[in-house]
């Protein structure tokens, strides 16, 4: 891999390595991708108003969450199907997160199991649960996370149905997977990726084995997940999950301040302002634009995180200045892992942390706890 100086370099490396259909599955958004673009644009539209003549010879990026330290105000977002980009990518990111000292969130649709991640990357582990119609199966997943000593359960609530991702349609990428002349030619142009898949086989969403007894292949298993999302899941059902789970519960996918207020009142321990990376409802607000109202509604009762569009260390500073406790990293570490495994994932985190330090120094802020709205000129 060529030297990576920015997350954009890791994205380019991933694009060079992956067939177009696979890259677009990770990189793309819903419909016209307005929200996908808006997430990034929201960060770019904010400008710093730095302070000078501050002692920034030593900068502290660590913060605390749930009574424990984390190396910087960030955690890894749940990202499914990573093994389709590179075998072992889930474990690679989990190991990089553990080495740095930030939480890692395992997706229900990951290509590594709850237990495999816990054994390979013992660190601060969170488990993200999609709400399935099969509640007995969902309960077993949650119990497995408890037994494996995951610190928190993350419930994603912005996916009652799947988004319309048109890049996938145009690339003939679907689940269950079907070979067509278009995608066969696409795959053949990336021999390194093809060789790994032929040698190691198509990955399996290990946590979902047994969800659909008729699903024998990886692609049909993935399809069964979509059929099993529960669009009837509501606040009462969430309360039952809150009552049953004995540890921290994080609610992901909140955009409206009234929903954030209700989540706090019912006992959620943290909130993630998220629009699913622009992959679900196109036309939704950018998460950074929705953040201030959610922070105001929460009124410091629980930590608020934000995801979507984080590509630079300066983005962490902007998120904190607008009231976030931290950010969730999705595509940034994904691009690193699918391009160069654990080394690529670690490089993504190194880039973001060094950019965070430099931005804090240039803004005259030696400690993340001192970042506030006065640093922004807009």
Burial (0-12, 13-18, 19+ Cβ within 10 Å), 32: exposed
Buried b (16+ CB within 10 A) or exposed e, 169-198: eebbbebebeeeeebeebbeebeebeebbe
Residue 46 bears catalytic tag: no
**DSSP-assigned letters across all residues of 274-298:** --GGGTSSTTPPPHHHHHHHHHHHH
Whole-angstrom CA distances from 76 to 101, 105, 166, 210, 238 are 11, 6, 26, 27, 23
Q: Which contacts (CB < 8 Å, 24+ apart) does range 134-137 have?
A: 134/211, 134/228, 137/210, 137/211
Looking at 87, 169, 256, 276, which residue is catalytic? 276
Residue listed under structure tokens 């060079």: 16
Q: Among residues 152, 138, 158, 108, which one has the least CA distance to residue 269?
A: 152
Whole-angstrom CA distances from 277 to 29, 57, 163, 303 are 7, 36, 11, 20
CB 114 within 8 A of CB 94: no
Could you check whether the bond before residue 176 is cis, i.e. omega within 30 degrees of 0?
yes
Q: What are phi and psi of 199, to 5 degrees?
A: -75, -40
Active site residues: 276
């Amino acid at each position: 891999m060529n030297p990576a100086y920015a997350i954009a370099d890791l994205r380019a490396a991933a694009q060079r390595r992956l067939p177009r259909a696979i890259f677009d599955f990770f990189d793309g958004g819903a419909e016209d991708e307005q929200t996908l673009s808006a997430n990034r644009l929201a960060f770019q539209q904010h400008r710093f108003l730095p302070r000078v003549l501050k002692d920034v010879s030593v900068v502290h990026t660590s913060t605390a969450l749930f009574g424990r330290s984390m190396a910087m105000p960030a955690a890894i977002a749940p990202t499914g199907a990573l093994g389709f980009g590179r075998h072992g990518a889930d474990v690679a990111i989990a190991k990089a997160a553990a080495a740095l000292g930030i939480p890692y969130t395992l997706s229900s649709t990951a290509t590594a199991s709850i237990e495999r991640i816990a054994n390979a990357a013992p660190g601060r582990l969170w488990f993200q649960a999609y709400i399935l119609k099969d509640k007995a199966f969902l309960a077993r997943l949650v119990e497995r996370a408890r037994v494996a000593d995951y610190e928190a359960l993350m419930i994603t609530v912005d996916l009652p149905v799947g988004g319309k991702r048109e890049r996938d349609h145009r690339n003939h990428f679907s689940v269950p997977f079907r070979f067509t002349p278009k995608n066969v030619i696409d795959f053949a142009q990336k021999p390194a990726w093809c060789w790994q898949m032929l040698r190691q086989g198509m990955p399996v969403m290990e946590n979902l084995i047994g969800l659909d007894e008729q699903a024998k292949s990886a692609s049909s298993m993935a399809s069964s997940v979509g059929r099993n999302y529960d669009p009837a899941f509501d606040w009462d059902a969430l309360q039952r999950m809150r009552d049953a789970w004995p540890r921290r519960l994080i609610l992901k996918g909140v955009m409206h301040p009234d929903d954030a207020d209700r989540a706090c009142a019912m006992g959620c321990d943290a909130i993630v302002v998220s629009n699913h990376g622009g992959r679900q409802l196109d036309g939704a607000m950018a998460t950074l634009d929705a953040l201030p109202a959610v922070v105001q509604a929460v009124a410091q009762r629980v930590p608020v995180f934000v995801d979507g569009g984080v590509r630079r260390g300066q983005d962490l500073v902007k998120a904190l200045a607008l009231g976030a406790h931290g950010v969730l990293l999705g595509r940034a570490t994904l691009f690193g892992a699918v391009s160069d495994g654990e080394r690529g994932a670690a490089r993504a985190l190194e880039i973001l942390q060094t950019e965070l330090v430099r931005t804090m120094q240039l803004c005259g802020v030696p400690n993340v706890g001192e970042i506030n709205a006065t640093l922004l000129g807009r």
